Amino acid sequence: MIATPEVDWLALSPALALLGGSGVALLGSVLVPRWLARGFGAFFAFAGFVAAAIFAGFVFDRSGEPTELLAESMTRDRFGALASILIAGAGALSVLVSWGEQRRDNGGEYYALLAAAGAGMVFFVTASNLMTLFLGLEWFSIALYILCALDTHRRASLEAGLKYLIIGSFGSAMLLFGFALVYGATAELGLAAIAEAADPDDQLLVAGLAMILAGLGFKASAAPFHMWTPDVYQGAPTSVTAFMSAATKIAALVVTLRVLTIGFPEQEHLWTVAIAAIAVASLAIGNLAALVQRDVKRLLAYSSVSHAGFMLIAVAANNELGGRALLYYLVPYGAMSIGSFAVVAARERQLGVPVTLDNFAGFLWERPFLGGAMWIFLLGFMGMPLTGGLLGKFYVFAAAYDTGWTWLVIVGVAATAVSLYYYLRVALAMWTRPEPRLRPAVAGGSPPRDPLLVTAVAASLGITIGSFLFVQPLIDLARDAAAALPL
Amino acid sequence: MTTTLILLPLAGALVAWLLPAPGRVVGAFAFLVMLAELVLWALAVGRFDFQQDLQLVDRQQWFDDLNVSYHVGFFGFSLWLAGLTIVVCTAAVGYAWWADRERGRAYHGLLLFLTAAIVGVFTAQDLLLFYVFFEAMLIPIYILIGVWGGARRVEATVKFVIYTMAGSLLMLAAVIAFGISQGTFDLVESGASNNVWLFLGFLAAFAVKAPLFPFHGWLVDAYGESPPELSAILSGVVSKAAVYGLLRIGIFKFDEPLQDLQLTILVLAAVGLVYASLLAFRARDLRTVVAYSSMGQMSLIVLGLFSLNELGVNGAILHSVAHGLVSAALFLLAGMVELRSGGTSDFADLGRMAKGRPALATVLMTTGIIALAVPGSAVFAGEFLILAGIYDEGWWWSAVGAGAIVLAAMYMLRLISGVLHDRRRAEPEPAPRDLGTAELSLLVPLVGLLLFLSAYPGAITERSFPTGQSQALVEPPP
């Protein structure tokens, strides 16, 4: 008889649910008749995401105290559980957005990969040692590489997949190198153990920390590690972009906060400054580059770089308020992100060409609900009232001010001012009446009906506005979750 | 009660957006909502005790860790400013209904939303909530100018957005810093601050909104390109958000910085007053005259507020209300004149409009005469109080103010004769169209209120602050 370690199945259940959904969807694409495979896959992927969210809710409920599992390879705590809920929610919405995509083949595989990526992220945010962190990262990254390139008939999609693969691998390699250096310096893998074993003056450790920051920066698409973002967001299938912009960002930022606060409390004076610098760079580059974009997906990609900057301000603040600010910000940000890409997807499916500022014209009058929703998402990105975007920024700035970093608040405010210009360009484009010659719309007929996409947009809209009106419950959740970290 | 005053137009806006009805019907509906809002406001006045401080309070925790709450209520002066808002917005909605704007559902919904946000600004007793309403007010304005504006609407929108948002975002930074350092965002609970930088942050937003010299670059484009009813709201009401902010946040919360910066602000206001009045005198078209006159009058109001004494502050409130009514009436009149002149308000194409139009001539003349502060008018009463208040700070301030009143007489008389009497146009029109019943029913109440305030300015000056409070407010800190 071999003694096996005690396995905490509940802690693993969100990832397992998604893996199960993914596996069934994959099997379905082989065993189920062709006409049914797409629906079968979508259903099980959706069910996987919903089940993962529910299980993560149970984990949240039953993990008042953080516990280390499986030889310190995983943590069961509310922080990871809340992040898992957010990721699973983003995944479920993405499935709804994906459904209307005209996909000639790969229907089942698409959803299987989406669920697998979700499983990887859920695993990633609960991982607490360097090996499992890397495993989780590669797990979801590989799924995403394939997803980006899945539209094999479009050159842009293949290009996006290849770019993401090459640059992403580079990022992973940086991260792995950093992990190796840290391991070399401390001879420990667990985050908490690293913190204990670390010698504050060890140059090796500091070099490792720097490389870890760079590696995580790649995944969070923070400048100067954002080069892949516009190309990949633009080229990938829009539903995949929606998923990546929300879920990947959630996973990467949450893990950044966890790794830094648990693993490197002694080096706080170094990494808070480094993160602040990355935040400033992201705000500057993201906002300035977005000013000149005409392709809406590309513009939103740069906007996501700038939002990574805003959220990193919360990480840099390194206080309780910052932890809450990050977790709160992710909720409306995720919803606005998925919602806005969903609207772009709807326009794209209607026109059959990439959406630019020119052919977005008149959208509000053609489809008032989607156009109105897009307006609200843009207002949210700007940080205008009646959306959670305002309170997210408010919290982030409050956290920075509380740490005494007034200059960071000023930078954030200035970046917001710049961002208004390009968001308003999109917003005003939707109001203007299109000139006939700029109108490549398919001749005749109303735009394709896509009730699932509309549902996803409505849900995102609900979250965007709801997170403004009902802040207290979200803050309570975020407070409980952030309490698991030594902030 | 206060919450209902905010929610009623908001609910009306939602219904207007969702109701599948033609624009005319939605216009009628919006007008009804505004009439109901007026009644509700009158009820609030009836329940208000003018010898007490903050009243009709609604308070609800919003989020606890930073002590932010939904906290609204009225002071005497804010009740009058809210009343001004509702009256002017009712007239504006009525005008939009009468003019039958394109895409009526969206248009009227936005006007109602705007009303809700402005009323919210005048009631907010929590800094974050104030910011929320202040920003929410801007969103419909952007859209209304950007979509329904004149030929150069995009330029006007971009300028307006950049100016106002630059101010607002500085205010956001100040709001955060003030709230965190006080431990609460509640305006009633928080104490005073002596941080000059925070005051400057707030001042930036209000100086743009007023506008105060030299933050007025957006003014002419925005007032000139907007639909006339929106210009009426912008100059009549939205600019008063700056007055409220300067009073409720500036004067209530920043005693010391106020004393330090008083001179600077007074100089800016005095320069703005003279400069804007001169520009108004030189302007080539009707709307630009009203726009610059509005800036001049706002500078005068700021002069009154920052005289930091009882007379000046009371005068500023009275003048805010009177000027709000005057400039709303003038912009609506400008719209009506434009409808009769083929869309232009250029003086070169106007003149001789009095002929065959007795009603238009009477209303424009009455409003204009009140606007130039003829003794006995409400505007005169307000300006008199302001000049008397500022006299304490030095006679020269009053001299500048009085000089500006002369300038005001010059540009208003030029406006009246330019529209009504000048013989620049060779021939009088063959079939002049006078103001119709609908137009008169929008203008007459505004002018009537002005006449009422002229007869009894005490209606506002005696009911803005509990006895002695305005004195206590502006006393220098011990």
Buried b or exposed e, range A351-365, using 16+ CB within 10 angstroms: beebbbbebbbbbbe
Residue B478's pLDDT band (boundaries 50, 70, 90)?
very low
What mean pLDDT is reported for chain B?
Answer: 89
Interface of A with B in 224-253 (CB under 8 A): none
Q: Pick the residue from chain B with its C-alpha nearest to A408.
A: B173
What mean pLDDT is reported for chain A?
Answer: 89
Measured between alpha carbons, how far is residue B385 from residues A249, A294, A423, B407 in Å?
A: 59, 55, 45, 18
- Using the beta-carbon criterion (under 8 Å), do B176 and A428 form an inter-chain contact? no
Residue A375: closest CA among A470, A304, A461, A308 = A461
Q: Which of A207-216, B110-119, B343-352 has the lowest mean pLDDT?
A: B343-352
- Using the beta-carbon criterion (under 8 Å), do A471 and B62 form an inter-chain contact? yes
The verdict on A385 touching B (C-beta cutoff 8 Å) is: yes
Residue B231's pLDDT band (boundaries 50, 70, 90)?
very high
Chain B residue numbers with beta carbons less than 8 Å from the beta carbon of A431 are 143, 146-147
The verdict on B310 touching A (C-beta cutoff 8 Å) is: no
Instruction: Tell me if A170 sits within 8 A of A177, measured CB to CB.
Output: no
Cα angle: B36, vertex B38, B44; to 5 degrees:
105
The verdict on B160 touching A (C-beta cutoff 8 Å) is: no
- Using the beta-carbon criterion (under 8 Å), do B161 and A410 form an inter-chain contact? no
- Using the beta-carbon criterion (under 8 Å), do B143 and A475 form an inter-chain contact? no
- pLDDT of res. B426: 62
Residue stretches of chain A with pLDDT short of 50:
438, 442-444
The verdict on B173 touching A (C-beta cutoff 8 Å) is: yes
> B interface mutation test: which of A394, A408, A423 has the most B CBs within 10 A?
A394
Better pLDDT: A444 or B198: B198
Instruction: Tell me if A285 sits within 8 A of A293, measured CB to CB.
Output: no
Chain A residue numbers with beta carbons less than 8 Å from the beta carbon of B131 are 385
Residue B214: asked if its preceding bond is cis (omega within 30°), the reply is: yes
* pLDDT(B458) > 50: yes
> A interface mutation test: which of B66, B130, B163, B164 has the most A CBs within 10 A?
B66
Query: Residue A152: what are its φ and ψ, rounded to 5°?
Result: -65, -15
Query: Residue B354: what are its φ and ψ, rounded to 5°?
Result: -65, -30
* Alpha carbon distance B92, B228 (integer Å): 8
Residue B425's pLDDT band (boundaries 50, 70, 90)?
low
Q: Would the pTM of this model clear 0.90, i.e. be above it? A: yes
- The dihedral over CA atoms of A216, A222, A224, A230, expressed in degrees to the nearest 10, equals 120
> B interface mutation test: which of A374, A386, A432, A469 has the most B CBs within 10 A?
A386
Q: Which of A335-349, B67-81, B172-186, B349-363 has the lowest mean pLDDT?
A: B349-363
Measured between alpha carbons, how far is residue A209 from residues A182, A213, A248, A271, B335 in Å?
A: 7, 6, 21, 8, 65
- Among A385, A401, A475, the residue with its CB nearest the CB of B65 is A475
- Using the beta-carbon criterion (under 8 Å), do A472 and B63 form an inter-chain contact? yes
* pLDDT(B19) > 90: no
Calculate mean pLDDT across residues B450-466.
88
* pLDDT(B366) > 70: yes
Residue B149's pLDDT band (boundaries 50, 70, 90)?
confident
- pLDDT of res. A331: 94
The verdict on A76 touching B (C-beta cutoff 8 Å) is: no
Calculate mean pLDDT across residues B237-246.
92
Question: pLDDT tens across A439-463, in order?
Answer: 555 444 566 778 889 999 999 999 9
The verdict on B172 touching A (C-beta cutoff 8 Å) is: yes
Percent of chain B with pLDDT over 90: 50
Calculate mean pLDDT across residues B267-278.
93
Chain B residue numbers with beta carbons less than 8 Å from the beta carbon of A405 are none
Q: Residues B458, B461, B465, B469: is their CA dihedral positive or negative?
A: negative
Chain B residue numbers with beta carbons less than 8 Å from the beta carbon of A420 are 161-162, 165
Question: pLDDT tens across B373-409, in order?
Answer: 888 899 999 999 999 999 988 899 999 988 988 999 9
- Among A395, A401, A417, the residue with its CB nearest the CB of B177 is A401
Both structure tokens of A471: 């802040």
Question: pLDDT tens across B316-326, in order?
Answer: 999 999 999 99
- pLDDT of res. B64: 85
The verdict on A479 touching B (C-beta cutoff 8 Å) is: yes
- Using the beta-carbon criterion (under 8 Å), do B176 and A398 form an inter-chain contact? yes
Q: Taking the mean position of all CA atoms in its chain, how far away is CA A463?
A: 16
Calculate mean pLDDT across residues B440-460.
91
Q: Is A344 left (phi over 0), alpha (psi -120 to 50) or beta?
A: alpha
Both structure tokens of A363: 């959208």
**Domain map of chain A by residue range?**
9-439+450-482
- Among B61, B135, B173, the residue with its CB nearest the CB of A384 is B135
- pLDDT of res. A443: 46
- pLDDT of res. B468: 65
What is the nearest CA distance from B184 to chain A, expressed in angstroms?
Answer: 12
Chain A residue numbers with beta carbons less than 8 Å from the beta carbon of B158 are 421, 424
Question: pLDDT tens across B120-144, in order?
Answer: 999 999 999 999 999 999 889 988 9
Interhelix angle A34-61/A78-98, rounded to 10 degrees, is 160
- Is the ipTM reported for this complex over the cut 0.85? yes
Chain A residue numbers with beta carbons less than 8 Å from the beta carbon of B13 are none
- pLDDT of res. A30: 85
Instruction: Tell me if A144 sits within 8 A of A248, measured CB to CB.
Output: yes
* pLDDT(B477) > 60: no
Instruction: Tell me if A321 sits within 8 A of A395, measured CB to CB.
Output: yes
- Using the beta-carbon criterion (under 8 Å), do B169 and A475 form an inter-chain contact? no
Which residues have a Cβ under 8 Å from the Cβ of A137 and sit 6 or more positions away?
Answer: A120, A124, A172, A175, A219
Calculate mean pLDDT across residues B84-99.
93
- pLDDT of res. A433: 66
Chain A residue numbers with beta carbons less than 8 Å from the beta carbon of B63 are 471-472, 475
Q: Pick the residue from chain A with its C-alpha nearest to B197.
A: A406
- Using the beta-carbon criterion (under 8 Å), do B132 and A385 form an inter-chain contact? yes
* Alpha carbon distance B33, A404 (integer Å): 47
The verdict on B318 touching A (C-beta cutoff 8 Å) is: no
- pLDDT of res. A434: 59
SS3 label, residue B72:
strand
